[in-house]
Amino acid sequence: MKVPLLDLKAQYQTIKKEVLPVIEEICENQGFILGPKVESFEKKMSQYLDIPYSVGVASGTDAILLSLMAVGVQPGDEVITTPYTFFATGGSISRLGAIPRFVDIRRDTFNIDENLISSKITSRTKAVIPVHLYGQSAEMDRIMKISDKAGLPVIEDAAQAIGTEYKKKKVGGIGSFGCFSFFPSKNLGGFGDGGMVTTTHPALAEKIKSLRVHGSLKRYYHDEIGCNSRLDSLQAGVLEIKLKYLDQWTKKRQKNASLYEKLFKNHGLTEFVQLPFASPGNVHVYNQYVLRVKRRDDLRAFLAKADIGTEIYYPVPLHLQKCYEFLGHKTGDFPESEKAALETIALPIYPELTEDQLTYVVKNIKNFYS
Ligand SMILES: *Cc1c(COP(=O)(O)O)cnc(C)c1O
């Protein structure tokens, strides 16, 4: 048996008949940049998330970059975020000449530790970026309270968290901005790059709409300096179709997570693997199913031999990346992030997995530890 980490070909087979005619229609019309397909998808996203404004951009990375530009982050400013995230979160801060001020993560959820944020706020802090890592919300009540008190906008990195709920609300509309990614491996993935900024504030939505087209709401009149960062019609066309199936796919991911839990418990494996902690009352969408395990690297090699795909998200926390040497951090600065980088492993969780495949994964983990 083979169990890849992700099988996008299996998903494509289920939507091919619907997607291909839409792609053909767009090609016949030759309208590729923004346009009615993008507007229609933006509307559907707003309905899905229950957030009034959605603005399609070129990627999840650009969603963060444009949000930081929109709140006025300047060279030399500081932005608070977690070092245990995909690089884009920190990279977008640095692209603007600002400085990422890292805050360590919670041991249970791997999300930014809200209790450590206050101590990192200085007079140069301009924003806070919590990341809803793996598909689980950060502790937004506390984060909003601390940020509001300091007058700081919050930009939610929701790239892994489409449909994730925090206290019955979908994430992306709690802070000033929500940033989504349609990178193919995200829960709602396009046929290429794509992203979206969401907000509940009309003026902020207008700002992002201006920034994505070189700061011009009226063509060839530039009120500010922006980017070229637009969602294209082909992606929007594909994504609008896939959005209809998102809840169904998410339910399958959640079902797979509960099946894993049951199997790990039944096999007496919980002393070797720490199951993902899903904070009660909130909805985890399992973009990744991540365990903290003993002898991680050996386990990974063992599973690879059994044709089971795994991944390490992420092997090097941002503060120890080569490009951030200039920040002067050292090993030990963010111990929970460093531990997570050494101890975690992501298992296949995608919706099309069969029960046999899941059982095969757990059996192999059982074999490794016995
Ligand atoms: C994927 C991802 C991004 C970047 O999204 P892209 O669309 O690949 O640019 C940003 N943050 C996190 C946490 C991500 O997982």
Give the per-residue pLDDT at 1.
Answer: 94
* Ligand 1, CB within 6 Å, residue ranges: 59-61, 85-86, 88-89, 131, 157, 159-160, 181, 183, 193, 195
* Average pLDDT value for residue range 201-213: 98
Give the per-residue pLDDT at 18.
Answer: 97
Mutate to test the pocket of ligand 1, among 105, 157, 180 (most ligand atoms within 8 A of CB): 157
* pLDDT at 146 exceeding the cut of 90: yes
Give the per-residue pLDDT at 101.
Answer: 98
Q: How far is the CA of 87 from the centre of ligand 1 (A)?
A: 8
CA-derived radius of gyration, the chain = 21
Helices marked H in 96-232 — which ranges?
A: 140-149, 202-211
CATH 3.30.1370.100 corresponds to the domain 8-103+110-243:
no
Q: How far is the CA of 60 from the centre of ligand 1 (A)?
A: 5
Which numbered atom of ligand 1 lies nearest the CA of 85?
13
C-alpha pair distances (Å), 168 with each of 306, 360, 365: 40, 34, 35
Q: Place 278 in a pLDDT band, splitting at 50, 70 and 90.
A: confident
For the chain, percent of residues with pLDDT exceeding 90 = 99
Nearest protein CA to atom 2 of ligand 1, as residue: 159
Q: Inter-axis angle of helices 355-369 and 233-266, to 10 degrees?
A: 50
Single-letter amino acid code for the residue at 361: V
* pLDDT at 244 exceeding the cut of 90: yes
Q: How far is the CA of 355 from the centre of ligand 1 (A)?
A: 29
| 235 exposure class (CB count in 10 Å sphere: 0-12, 13-18, 19+) | buried
Domain extent listing, the chain: 8-103+110-243, 246-369
pLDDT in tens, 299-358: 999 999 999 999 999 999 999 999 999 999 999 999 999 999 999 999 999 999 999 999
* Average pLDDT value for residue range 217-232: 95
Single-letter amino acid code for the residue at 52: P
pLDDT in tens, 82-124: 999 999 999 999 999 999 999 999 999 999 999 999 999 999 9
Helices marked H in the chain — which ranges?
A: 8-29, 36-49, 60-70, 87-95, 140-149, 202-211, 233-266, 296-305, 335-343, 355-369
Give the per-residue pLDDT at 354.
Answer: 96
Tell me whether the omega of the peptide bond preceding residue 48 falls within 30 degrees of 0, making it cis: no
Taking residue 158's Cβ as centre, other Cβ atoms within 10 Å add up to: 31
Residue at token pair 């048996």: 1
Q: How far is the CA of 88 from the centre of ligand 1 (A)?
A: 6
C-alpha pair distances (Å), 285 with each of 7, 36, 248: 17, 29, 11
Report pTM: 0.98
* pLDDT at 280 exceeding the cut of 90: no
* Average pLDDT value for residue range 10-25: 96
Residue at token pair 């101890």: 343
pLDDT in tens, 48-93: 999 999 999 999 999 999 999 999 999 999 999 999 999 999 999 9
Distance CA(325)–CA(143), nearest Å, equals 28
Distance CA(303)–CA(307), nearest Å, equals 6
* Average pLDDT value for residue range 182-211: 98
Give the per-residue pLDDT at 279.
Answer: 86
Distance CA(276)–CA(146), nearest Å, equals 27
CATH number at 246-369: 3.90.1150.10
The torsion angle over the Cα atoms of residues 135, 141, 144 and 146, rounded to 10 degrees, is: -120
What's the chain's average pLDDT?
A: 97
Q: How far is the CA of 6 from the centre of ligand 1 (A)?
A: 17
Give the per-residue pLDDT at 281.
Answer: 85
pLDDT in tens, 248-267: 999 999 999 999 999 999 99
